[in-house]
A and B are shown apart, each in its own frame.
Chain A
Amino acid sequence: DGGITQSPKYLFRKEGQNVTLSCEQNLNHDAMYWYRQDPGQGLRLIYYSQIVNDFQKGDIAEGYSVSREKKESFPLTVTSAQKNPTAFYLCASRSWDSNQPQHFGDGTRLSIL
């Protein structure tokens, strides 16, 4: 069954610690995205990648980093520089064809200890 897998579902971070959220897709999609959702807000774009070994900052990239070493994988690292990391993080992918929807994983909820 094709889809997007995010892990872990829940993650706790201590002050000053970096944590990495995993996102894997087997849809053979070229483009992948990371979003952050806060209560009462829409999804805000953190980073996106169109092809392997290439990625661009979204609207709220500060305090985050990504890599795209494989087409299937787009991990997100929340660094200690991100001062307000508590949020619901969503990974999405889409094919490169025009007018195609993004497909989302089930998200990772990150909380601060």
Chain B
Amino acid sequence: DQQVKQNSPSLSVQEGRISILNCDYTNSMFDYFLWYKKYPAEGPTFLISISSIKDKNEDGRFTVFLNKSAKHLSLHIVPSQPGDSAVYFCAASAITSGTYKYIFGTGTRLKVLA
């Protein structure tokens, strides 16, 4: 049972335009959501997060939106740059048996075209 889903395996965007990456989840107990960026042969790098008590968090070019009623999370990158080309994972966290466990989506490969 995939609790965190990224339904788009890939996305291509022109440089300077907006990139929108989407993520859906099923477990209403998740209270913390994160986006990670990953280059080949490297570990994921934390990008931005949002608590379930908020619906938006912004950090520079990156904004995460949370729609709890729809159980939907999105990451907006504006403007997109070629260096943003990477695989993006969304993750959701809930405390389970006294510890924080993270469930990751399958990733979306973003390609920003120059």
* Interface 9-mer from A13-21, A42-50, A66-74, A75-83: A42-50
Q: Which of A48, A102, A103, A109 has the most CB of B within 10 A?
A: A102
Q: Which of B4, B41, B95, B100 has the most CB of A within 10 A?
A: B100
Determine the distance from Cα of A98 to Cα of B52 in the docked complex, in whole angstroms. 12
Complex contacts, A103 vs chain B, CB 8 Å: 46
B10-52 contact mask (Cβ, 8 Å, vs A): 1 or 0: 0000000000000000000001101010000111111001010
Complex contacts, A45 vs chain B, CB 8 Å: 101-102
**Number of residues on chain B facing chain A (CB within 8 A):** 28
Choose from B42, B93, B95, B106 the contact partner of A106 (Cβ within 8 Å). Answer: B42
Residue of A nearest to B53 (CB): A99
The number of residue pairs between A and B whose CB atoms lie closer than 8 Å in the complex comes to: 62
Complex contacts, A104 vs chain B, CB 8 Å: 36, 43-45
Supposing A41-B106, A43-B89 touch, asked if A107 and B41 sit within 8 A by C-beta, the answer is: yes
CB pair B45 A94 closer than 8 Å: no
The answer to the question of B99 belonging to the interface, with a C-beta cut-off of 8 Å to chain A, is yes
Choose from A56, A99, A100 the contact partner of B99 (Cβ within 8 Å). Answer: A56
CB pair A40 B4 closer than 8 Å: no
CB pair B99 A50 closer than 8 Å: yes
Supposing A42-B107, A43-B89, A99-B49 touch, asked if A90 and B43 sit within 8 A by C-beta, the answer is: yes
Residue of B nearest to A96 (CB): B100
The answer to the question of B60 belonging to the interface, with a C-beta cut-off of 8 Å to chain A, is no
The answer to the question of B83 belonging to the interface, with a C-beta cut-off of 8 Å to chain A, is no
Name A residues whose Cβ lies closer than 8 Å to a Cβ of B. 4, 6, 9, 31, 33, 35, 40-45, 48, 50, 56, 58, 90, 92, 94, 98-107, 109
10 smallest CB-CB distances across A and B, nearest first, come from A104-B43, A42-B104, A101-B46, A43-B104, A42-B106, A106-B43, A99-B32, A104-B44, A105-B43, A107-B43
